[in-house]
Amino acid sequence: MNLLSKSLLLTVVVLGFGGGLPTLAAEPQAHAGAAVAIQLQLDQGNKWQTDDILRRGMSEIRLAMAESLPPIHNDSFTPAQYEALAGRVEAQVDYVVGNCTLSERADQQLHVVLEQIIDGSAAMKAGTGRNQGAVKIVQALAKYGEYFDHAGWQPLEH
């Protein structure tokens, strides 16, 4: 990730946990302050390339969610467990943001997915809607698999 992308995502992380997430600007320099929502899209019909850091971080998020889904579905997941799961997910988002080296265009697409994961994590920490936050993360993981080249990636069933 380039420095501008890391700064944008850090802003999303910092502001996102306090309320609604801001819209990321597709090209901040070109739009001079006008925010443009980025829609997920393929790279000229192909999935976006990934690096080892991104694949490792996303795999860890997927694993954390896969391990947690049975008790979430059974309504036996406690608020403390949701908070711990959110912390585990956030640690991986931080790892990816701090270390991955995607192209600028792939990085912009990744931000769309990470925003949804961050939003889901924030919901899991909230007093209500914790299970909807988990669903949001599962949906974001499915989108990641649709748009990013991650060999062997399997979406989670929820």
Which residue segments constitute the domains of the chain, with CATH numbers given? 1-10+50-153 (1.20.120)
- Per-position b or e across 98-120, b if 16+ CB within 10 A of its CB: eebebeeebbbbbbbbbbbbbbb
- 7-21, 31-45, 129-143 — most confident range: 129-143
Global pTM value: 0.78
pLDDT per residue over 53-104, tens digit each? Answer: 999 999 999 999 999 999 999 999 999 999 999 999 999 999 999 999 999 9
- Cα 5 to chain centroid, rounded: 14
d(CA 137, CA 88): 12
